[in-house]
Amino acid sequence: MLGVKEDDDEIEAATTSYTPLPNIKVFIADQNASGAEAVVAELNKSGQGMAQSGQLDVRDWNQQAKVFGQAIHALGGRIDYVYSIAGINERRWIDNNPSAEGFQAPDLSVLDVDVTGLMYTVSLAVQQFRRQDKDSNGFRGKIGCVASVCGFYCCPTLPIYTAAKHAVVGFVRSYGKWLPEEGITFNAVCPNVVRTNISTPAFYDSLEKVNLLTPLESVPDAFEKLLGANKDSGECYETGPNYHKGQGVLQTRGPPFVDDESAKVFDMLYARGKPLHLPK
């Protein structure tokens, strides 16, 4: 979880150069406390104290709510941007052991982190943004999340991770089209494989050797386009191995309706679901 408070568009320069600037404050929450503290120390080298951190397990609602409250306090009562970045890769979800007796519960920890944890963060952000006035660009706040190209395409040997990222893409494309009604935007960046801690160095090396690794900087570059006055919401942006070869950030859209009748059904579904999002 990453929370940011800014004045006007200075956040754009900070995101691009990673240089601390006045009036920008950052709160980083991660299960790896030492890792978050290291990032904070780097950001605070200027002596401005722009960054703080907290520790949490994104699967735990109570922890998320507690740390989010700490972030609100640290940022002076207002948060302009919230980013949900936590994620884990495929696990062995059920053992392949035909000789076993009985039935084993599946390991759904990937869904717990990549879907439920993300939805907890989005829920906290939306509730906070609803309490805030609109900024000079007309927004109460903006939400970004990291999904994956596995939210668009399917990998047969990564079924739970693929299901999780399809869930995130569906969440963004649906809820992200409602939230502008409340002065909030919600978008996702969906990179192909980038070098992080989610997989092994050997796997990343094998991709890099054949020029199939996606540049890590493509992710913050994509988020940068959504800052400030940008009104996009409910969109998913893809980055891939050809990012630096002229491809850049791609706005990957969902499939069209098969016919006009299907589109009309969804207009009626929209009207039916709308009361669920209005103030009581």
4 pLDDT exceeds 70? no
The residues, ordered by sequence, that sit 6+ positions from 113 with a Cβ below 8 Å of its Cβ are: 58, 59, 86, 87, 88
Identify the band that residue 21 occupies on the pLDDT scale cut at 50, 70 and 90: low
Number of domains, the chain: 1
The answer as to whether 42 is a domain residue is no
The answer as to whether 190 is a domain residue is yes
Terminal Cα distance for the chain, rounded: 29
pLDDT computed for residue 110 by the predictor? 97
pLDDT computed for residue 42 by the predictor? 86
pTM attached to this predicted model: 0.92
7 pLDDT exceeds 70? no
Identify the band that residue 49 occupies on the pLDDT scale cut at 50, 70 and 90: confident
Which residue in the block uniquely carries the two structure tokens 């569906």? 170
The answer as to whether 197 is a domain residue is yes
Burial, 233: exposed, middle or buried (Cβ in 10 Å; 0-12, 13-18, 19+)?
buried
Identify the band that residue 8 occupies on the pLDDT scale cut at 50, 70 and 90: very low
Q: Which of 29-33, 87-91, 243-247, 263-267 bottoms out in mean pLDDT, i.e. has the lowest?
A: 29-33
242 pLDDT exceeds 70? yes
Percent of the chain topping pLDDT 70:
91
Which structural domain, as residue segments, surrounds residue 161? 80-95+102-277
Amino acid at 162: T
Mean pLDDT in residue range 69-84: 95
For helices 118-130 and 61-74, give the axis angle rounded to 10 degrees. 40
The answer as to whether 2 is a domain residue is no
The answer as to whether 25 is a domain residue is no
Closest to 29 in 3D by CA, of 62, 9, 48, 57: 57
Comparison of pLDDT for 39 and 249, the residue scoring more: 249
Comparison of pLDDT for 145 and 12, the residue scoring more: 145
What per-residue string of b and e applies to 132-148 under the rule 16 or more CB within 10 Å gives b? beebeeebbbbbbbbbb
The answer as to whether 7 is a domain residue is no
DSSP 8-state symbol, 117: I
The residues, ordered by sequence, that sit 6+ positions from 180 with a Cβ below 8 Å of its Cβ are: 231, 233
Percent of the chain topping pLDDT 90:
81
DSSP 8-state symbol, 106: P
The answer as to whether 31 is a domain residue is no
Question: Domain holding 210: CATH number?
Answer: 3.40.50.720
| Rg of the chain over all Cα atoms, to the nearest angstrom | 20
Strands, sheet with 250-251, edge to edge from the N-terminal-most edge strand: 51-55, 25-30, 2-5, 81-84, 141-146, 184-191, 236-239, 250-251
The answer as to whether 58 is a domain residue is no
What digits encode the pLDDT tens for the residues 128-186? 999 999 999 999 999 999 999 999 999 999 999 999 999 999 999 999 999 999 999 99
pLDDT computed for residue 3 by the predictor? 66
pLDDT computed for residue 103 by the predictor? 96
